[in-house]
A and B are shown apart, each in its own frame.
Chain A
Amino acid sequence: METILKVIGVETYLYLSALLFSIGVFGILLRRNAIIMFMSIEIMLNAVNLMLVAFSTFHQDASGQVFVFFSMAVAAAEVAVGLAILVSIFRNHGSIDIDKLKNLKG
């Protein structure tokens, strides 16, 4: 492991993580399908997880990896809730295009 990290370098992981995070952000901003946006959020979460793991290895400290486990568990719960909400929205509106969800308008 250490050798691989030494060969590739920690900054490569950071670039990858930043790239993944940016993809997530653009997905959120540009797509209008709620499920796609949901997936984008997952990508962002995983980008952060990747960074945590990379730094954990770099610093020889396991607590970063412990965080990732927590984060994954929370993400799983979030997915469950989020998908349930989406299903419910679809049942009520017949669509999951977020441009059509304007009930929060003040």
Chain B
Amino acid sequence: METGLVLLLLLAPFVGFLTNIFLGKQLGKNASGYLGSLAVIVSFVVTTVFFLQVSETKQPITVHLFDWIALDKFSVNFDILLDQLSLLWLMFVTGIGSLIHIYSISYMHDDINMHKFFGYLNLFIFFMITLVVGSNLLIMFIGWEGVGLCSYLLIGFWYKNQDYNDAAKKAFIMNRIGDLGFLIGIFIIGYVFNTLDFMTIKQEIMAGHATANLAWLGIATMCLFIGACGKSAQIPLYTWLPDAMAGPTPVSALIHAATMVTAGIFMITRLNFLFDLTPDVQTVIATVGVATSLLAASIGLMQNDIKKVLAYSTVSQLGLMFLALGLGAYEVAVFHVITHAFFKACLFLGSGSVIHALHGEQDMRRMGGLKGVMKITFITFLIATLAISGIPPFAGFFSKDEILMVAFHKDKTLWVLAAIASIMTAFYMFRLLYLTFFKEFRGTEEQKHHLHESPALITFPLIVLGILSAVGGALSLPGNSWLNNYLQPIFAHKTHAEHHLDNTAYMLMGLAVVGALVGIAIAYSKYIKKGEVPAEDDQITGFANVVYQKYHVDESYMRIFVKPIYFIAKFSRDYIETGLSNVVFGFGNVAAELSLQGKKLQNGNIGFYLFAFVFGLCSVVFYLFFLR
């Protein structure tokens, strides 16, 4: 029964993928879209069934599918682990996945390769489920690589544009760097524990068997964190995520905001017992997280592409999640992952709706005044913006506030930096909102003529996500957190479930709200009162230009890493490889020359052959009888 349901959960999207790829053209666009959506909805329903069951019994479900690698002292089983954490993740992966599939039916309707799009999306959901439900690191790695592949395929979905292809390659290669770290981490863990199974590792650690290998574990967790950096776009591997916005907007919403980029956080949360043992690595994680958050937020202040702003805001929010992870507050990070998935998916889908209405225009300087025309998009976008800015009672307020509170108790510096990042977030999100929806329209007359609210298939997911962004905070209210209690069995240490609401907590909440309001007020005075519009590209000068050009990080990477690698590659090609092949060809030339000379012996003169024969025989006889 359970095995069947698990297989249904796992294979429904895979069947959807196969059908769409092989039969999609024959099925036609609508059938292909609805089929793809149905496949994910099936997974969502199955997840809900399991979720309700596990919330009630509080017992994780393990399903043994088959023995995968069986060696003498080391074996890996293909087992599925459905516990509180994986089911929570599955809920929003399949839930938001379903909504975005439905959205895509309308959004991608004009694309000739729509069946391929749904095929890839289904494949992505399949790999994401694999990543989440695997009971050991190796299965997680399969999913990890699979979602990377789908990310590559979908960023480069419009493959006729070379820039998009480059963005896809960049994402893939950046991820490979992280994946290498992840793989090395897996190897070390396998070496230390002789198993890759999460439950077994946890038991070993609980029994205190790991203390002898702390140095190895430190390296392992550091490597795993590098893997998480690649997938979840942290310094120094974050530059692929803003470029990944080349993909269609539903892809940005699903993969590059709500689900795949949170895989790193999932992995660290899954292995929390391991990271708890290595406080140094946790410090690194927190530092990297807060640095990423600040850097990305400051770049977001100056961007003019609506999707780029959202992309940098995603990087920044992921940084905050890593800050929470580094401080050991895994449940807070998970909470922020969930609320972020709601409001960021809503924001991306909203921006997609705007782009759709403007026929592909993404520059905010050519937008404005859409409030009146696109009412539903505007209202949902407003809710999600309030949520991400941290205004109560919307979802983002609670999760962000918890992160700030944890940071305040652990390290005041981190708290200040994170608070600055969230003030910046409030500013640039409202800048985005004002520039897009307020004042008068700045695009062409023709675009203005065609402005329209998007169809129901697009607005429905927006409404659902808008509602979730508004009420999502109820998952973990301060002082009485359902989420923390629910997740308790996952963690090695006690969650912060019982932290009491003292005056400090209220003061911090107040400060956070005031900070967000300050950010909003600055944006209001700049873009509504003074009615400013960001300058054109060539008029941006000084430090503003440096920020606008993303601190020239890409260019620096180009100079520091890519160029030397090119140089080494060119050197190897021009000198080392040429030299080697000359040696190899040299052998061939010598052999050919020798054989050319030897060929002359075969001159067709029978007398000469006979002479050679007799001479040879005589030589043999001479040698045998006289020389020996």
Residues of A whose CB lies within 8 Å of any CB of B are 25, 28-29, 32, 98-99, 101-106
Interface residues of B in 598-628 (CB under 8 A from A): 599, 602-607, 610-611, 614
Contact check, A25 vs B614: say whether CB atoms are below 8 A apart: yes
Interface size class, chain B: 10 to 19
A76 to B606, CA, bound (A): 23
Contact check, B607 vs A29: say whether CB atoms are below 8 A apart: yes
Contact check, A32 vs B604: say whether CB atoms are below 8 A apart: no
A103 to B603, CA, bound (A): 9
Contact check, B611 vs A102: say whether CB atoms are below 8 A apart: no
Tell me whether chain A's interface is mostly helix, strand or loop, or mixed: loop
Q: Write 30 A-B pairs (CB below 8 A) sorted by A numbering.
A: A25-B614, A28-B610, A28-B614, A29-B607, A29-B610, A29-B611, A29-B614, A32-B607, A98-B606, A98-B607, A99-B605, A99-B606, A99-B607, A101-B604, A101-B606, A102-B603, A102-B604, A102-B605, A103-B604, A104-B602, A104-B604, A104-B606, A105-B602, A105-B603, A105-B604, A105-B605, A106-B599, A106-B602, A106-B603, A106-B604
Number of A-B contacts (CB under 8 A): 30
Residues of B whose CB lies within 8 Å of any CB of A are 599, 602-607, 610-611, 614
A32 to B608, CA, bound (A): 11
| Residues on the B chain within 8 Å of A32, using CB | 607
A5 to B488, CA, bound (A): 115
| Residues on the A chain within 8 Å of B605, using CB | 99, 102, 105
| Residues on the B chain within 8 Å of A98, using CB | 606-607
A32 to B606, CA, bound (A): 10
| Residues on the B chain within 8 Å of A28, using CB | 610, 614
A52 to B611, CA, bound (A): 26
A101 to B607, CA, bound (A): 10
Given A99-B606, A105-B602: 11 more A-B contacts, CB < 8 Å = A25-B614, A28-B610, A29-B611, A102-B603, A104-B604, A104-B606, A105-B604, A105-B605, A106-B599, A106-B603, A106-B604
A102 to B609, CA, bound (A): 11
A36 to B607, CA, bound (A): 13
A105 to B606, CA, bound (A): 10
Name the residue among B599, B607, B614 with the largest chain A CB count within 10 angstroms: B607
| Residues on the B chain within 8 Å of A104, using CB | 602, 604, 606
A102 to B611, CA, bound (A): 16
A101 to B602, CA, bound (A): 13
| Residues on the B chain within 8 Å of A25, using CB | 614
A67 to B416, CA, bound (A): 111
| Residues on the A chain within 8 Å of B606, using CB | 98-99, 101, 104
| Residues on the A chain within 8 Å of B599, using CB | 106
A35 to chain B, nearest CB (A): 14
| Residues on the B chain within 8 Å of A103, using CB | 604
| Residues on the A chain within 8 Å of B607, using CB | 29, 32, 98-99
Closest to B604 in A: A105
B597 to chain A, nearest CB (A): 12
| Residues on the A chain within 8 Å of B614, using CB | 25, 28-29
B343 to chain A, nearest CB (A): 84
| Residues on the B chain within 8 Å of A101, using CB | 604, 606
A104 to B602, CA, bound (A): 8
A29 to B614, CA, bound (A): 8
Closest to B603 in A: A105
A29 to B610, CA, bound (A): 7
A25 to B618, CA, bound (A): 11
A11 to B443, CA, bound (A): 122
B39 to chain A, nearest CB (A): 70
A106 to B596, CA, bound (A): 11
A40 to chain B, nearest CB (A): 10
B440 to chain A, nearest CB (A): 92
Closest to B618 in A: A25
| Residues on the A chain within 8 Å of B604, using CB | 101-106
Closest to B613 in A: A28
Closest to A106 in B: B602
A25 to B606, CA, bound (A): 14
A44 to B141, CA, bound (A): 81
A82 to chain B, nearest CB (A): 14
A56 to chain B, nearest CB (A): 23
| Residues on the B chain within 8 Å of A102, using CB | 603-605
A6 to chain B, nearest CB (A): 27
A18 to chain B, nearest CB (A): 12
A106 to B611, CA, bound (A): 18
A32 to B610, CA, bound (A): 11
B221 to chain A, nearest CB (A): 71
Closest to A105 in B: B604
A29 to B607, CA, bound (A): 7
Closest to A102 in B: B604
A97 to chain B, nearest CB (A): 10
- Nearest 9 interchain pairs by C-beta: A105-B604, A106-B602, A102-B604, A98-B606, A104-B604, A28-B610, A106-B599, A105-B603, A25-B614
A25 to B613, CA, bound (A): 11
A103 to B614, CA, bound (A): 22
| Residues on the A chain within 8 Å of B610, using CB | 28-29
Closest to B615 in A: A29
Closest to B601 in A: A106
| Residues on the B chain within 8 Å of A106, using CB | 599, 602-604
